C-alpha cells in the first residue's frame, strides 16, 4: 500500500516501535496500548488482515515486534459509527469561540472513531487552527470553549489549572435528593479498565469537590445543577453516584454493576443502552465564566439544555427554568 493512501484508508497505531517494545508479541502489545479492543479481539483483527506492520498484513498474533516497526489498522470511513457531528457556534470574538458539542461526538480519534470527532469536525465549523481548550466526555453534550492561537490556549489551560474558570453543568439524576443544596468532598482515583477509564472514590486519590443544587424533581428523577470545584476525571458522575443519585443512562457509574460488565463486553450496544434506561449519561455542560485572557473582560457563556435531555425532563414531569432550555 502506498504511503499516500495510508492516511485515508488506515489509522496509525501509535509511534514506531521503540526499544522498550522490541520483542513483544503483536497481539499483547496492541491490547495493552489500545484497550478499546481486548487481546482476543486484536487477534481476530490480525487474522482478518486489517493490522499492518510496515505496510504489510501482519503474519500472526505471535509476530514479534522489531525496532522501528510502524503499525497501522485498516479503518475505512464507513466503519465509523454514525454520530451527530452537527456542532454549531454559540459565540465567537475572533480569538475565542464557544461551540455546542452534541452528545456522542468524541473529542479525538480513539477506538472506532477516526474522523467523526470534535478534532475532525472543528476545522469545518471554525476554520483551520482552532482547538478545544478543555474536554467533554463523548456522551456529554454542551458548551465547549475553543481558542485560535496556541499561546491563548496555553493561557486558558493555566487558568483552568488554577481554578480561574467557573463551570456549571446540568444533570438528570436518579431519585430525589433530600437536600436542595449539598456538596461532595471525596478524593477520586482514576483506573485503567478495558474499554473504559473508570474513576473511583479512594483515599489514595486526588482531592475533589462538587456542589450540587436541585433545580426540579420529577417522578423518579431530579434535575441538578452541578459545579465542580476541581477537575478530576468523570468527577460529577462519580460524586453524584457516591451521593446515591447516579445519572440517568450512566453505564459506568450506574446502580447496576451488571450493565457495566455488559458495556465492557459489548460497548455501547443497543442492549446496553436499553438496560441503562437512556442512550447516554444525562450530563450537559451548561455555563462557563472566565476572564478573557486578552481583554480582561468578564465572559459569561451559556448553552441551552440539549433536546434529548429536555424530552427526558418532560417525560419525568420536571419543570425546566427558561434559561436552561431552547424553548
pLDDT tens-place string over residues 152-185: 999 998 999 888 999 999 999 999 999 999 999 9
Residue appearing with cell numbers 479503518: 75
Residue appearing with cell numbers 474513576: 199
Distance CA(111)–CA(195), nearest Å, equals 9
Give the model's confidence band at 12: pLDDT under 50 very low, under 70 low, under 90 confident, else very high.
confident
- Phi and psi angles of residue 206, each rounded to the nearest 5 degrees, phi first: -95, 145
- Phi and psi angles of residue 145, each rounded to the nearest 5 degrees, phi first: -90, 135
Distance CA(187)–CA(257), nearest Å, equals 21
- Phi and psi angles of residue 255, each rounded to the nearest 5 degrees, phi first: -75, -20
Distance CA(46)–CA(255), nearest Å, equals 37
Can you tell me the mean pLDDT for 82-96? 93
Cβ atoms of 238 and 199 within 8 Å: the answer is: yes
Give the model's confidence band at 38: pLDDT under 50 very low, under 70 low, under 90 confident, else very high.
confident
- How high does pLDDT run on average in the chain? 88
Residue 192, pLDDT above cutoff 70: no
In the chain, the percentage of residues whose pLDDT exceeds 70 is 89
Cβ atoms of 199 and 232 within 8 Å: the answer is: yes
The pLDDT value recorded for residue 40 is 87
Cβ atoms of 96 and 299 within 8 Å: the answer is: yes
Task: Give the chain's domains with CATH numbers.
Answer: 3-79 (3.10.290.10), 88-324 (3.30.2350.10)
Give the model's confidence band at 8: pLDDT under 50 very low, under 70 low, under 90 confident, else very high.
low
- Least confidently predicted of 36-50, 151-165, 189-203: 189-203
pLDDT tens-place string over residues 211-236: 999 999 999 999 999 999 999 989 99
CA dihedral over 130, 132, 124, 293, signed as positive or negative: negative
Q: CA-CA distances (angstroms) from residue 63 to 15, 23, 57, 70, 100?
A: 18, 9, 11, 13, 45
Encode 191-202: b = buried (16+ Cβ within 10 Å), e = exposed. Answer: eeeebbebbbee
Amino acid at each position: 500500500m502506498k504511503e499516500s493512501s495510508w492516511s485515508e484508508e488506515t489509522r496509525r497505531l501509535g509511534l514506531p516501535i521503540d526499544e522498550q517494545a522490541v520483542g513483544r508479541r503483536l497481539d499483547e502489545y496492541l491490547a495493552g496500548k489500545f484497550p478499546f479492543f481486548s487481546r482476543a479481539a486484536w487477534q481476530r483483527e490480525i487474522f482478518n488482515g486489517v493490522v499492518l506492520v510496515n505496510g504489510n498484513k501482519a503474519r500472526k498474533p505471535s509476530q514479534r515486534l522489531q525496532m522501528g516497526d510502524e503499525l497501522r489498522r485498516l479503518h475505512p470511513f464507513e466503519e465509523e459509527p454514525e454520530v451527530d457531528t452537527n456542532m454549531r457556534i454559540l459565540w465567537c470574538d475572533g480569538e475565542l469561540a464557544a461551540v455546542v458539542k452534541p452528545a456522542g461526538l468524541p473529542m479525538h480519534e480513539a477506538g472506532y472513531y477516526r474522523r467523526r470527532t470534535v478534532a475532525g469536525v472543528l476545522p469545518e465549523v471554525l476554520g483551520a487552527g482552532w482547538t478545544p481548550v478543555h474536554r467533554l466526555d463523548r456522551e456529554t453534550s454542551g458548551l465547549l470553549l475553543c481558542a485560535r492561537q496556541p499561546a491563548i490556549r496555553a493561557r486558558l489551560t493555566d487558568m483552568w489549572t488554577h481554578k480561574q474558570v467557573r463551570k456549571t453543568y446540568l444533570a438528570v439524576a436518579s431519585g430525589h435528593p433530600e437536600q436542595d443544596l449539598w456538596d461532595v468532598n471525596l478524593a477520586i482515583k482514576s483506573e485503567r479498565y478495558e474499554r473504559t477509564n473508570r474513576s473511583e472514590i479512594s483515599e489514595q486519590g486526588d482531592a475533589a469537590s462538587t456542589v450540587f443544587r436541585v433545580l426540579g424533581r420529577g417522578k423518579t428523577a431530579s434535575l441538578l445543577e452541578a459545579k465542580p470545584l476541581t477537575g478530576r476525571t468523570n468527577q460529577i458522575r462519580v460524586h453524584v453516584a457516591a451521593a446515591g443519585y447516579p445519572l440517568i443512562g450512566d453505564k459506568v457509574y450506574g446502580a447496576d454493576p451488571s450493565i457495566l460488565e455488559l458495556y465492557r463486553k459489548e460497548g455501547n450496544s443497543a442492549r446496553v443502552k436499553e438496560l441503562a434506561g437512556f442512550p447516554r449519561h444525562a450530563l450537559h455542560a451548561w455555563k462557563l465564566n472566565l476572564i478573557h485572557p486578552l481583554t480582561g473582560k468578564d465572559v459569561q457563556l451559556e448553552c441551552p439544555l440539549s433536546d434529548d435531555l429536555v424530552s427526558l425532563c418532560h417525560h419525568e414531569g420536571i419543570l425546566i427554568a427558561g434559561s436552561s432550555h431552547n424553548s
